[in-house]
Amino acid sequence: MPEVGGPFTSGHDELVALLGILSKREIIRARARTVGAMAALVRDYGRYVVGRPAYGYRLTATGPHLKPQHAQCGRKLLCLEPNPDTAPVVAWIFQMRL
């Protein structure tokens, strides 16, 4: 193997292909775990765990953070609620679509 100073062999290509397949598999598994954990936070606790809220909604603080160290810093739990300024526009868009 060239990585350890040995000669280049035809088996090296198969090894590199196998390592590539294994790394892609691990990426898919990590992505599935992350998406599952985020969905569980939303489903079980009603938390909003993604970046910017969708148009027509806004983030509001619902109470202290669940983790004590974050609550001590003044962080709050965030939940989605309709934005009174933009929610009528979203309702109009869906009415026009129908």
Task: State the pLDDT confidence band at 33, using cuts at 50, 70 and 90.
Answer: very high
Q: What is the pLDDT of residue 63?
A: 86
What is the domain range of residue 21? 1-45
Question: Do 18 and 29 sit in the same domain of this protein?
Answer: yes
Shared domain check, 83 and 65: yes
* Overall number of domains in the chain: 2
Which residues, including other chains, have CB under 8 Å from residue 64's CB and lie 6 or more apart?
Answer: 71, 75, 76, 77
> Do 87 and 55 reside in the same domain of the chain?
yes
Both 27 and 6 in one domain: the answer is yes
pTM of the model: 0.50
Give CA–CA dist 93/3, Å, rounded.
Answer: 59
Indicate the helix (H) or strand (E) that contains 41: helix 11-45
**Is the separation of the CB atoms in 75 and 47 below 8 Å?**
no
Helix (H, G, I), strand (E, B) or coil at 76: strand
Tell me, yes or no, whether 14 and 59 share the same domain: no
pLDDT digit string, tens, across residues 34-69: 999 988 887 887 777 777 888 988 988 888 888 899
Calculate mean pLDDT across residues 68-84. 88
Look at residue 91 in the predicted model and tell me its pLDDT: 92
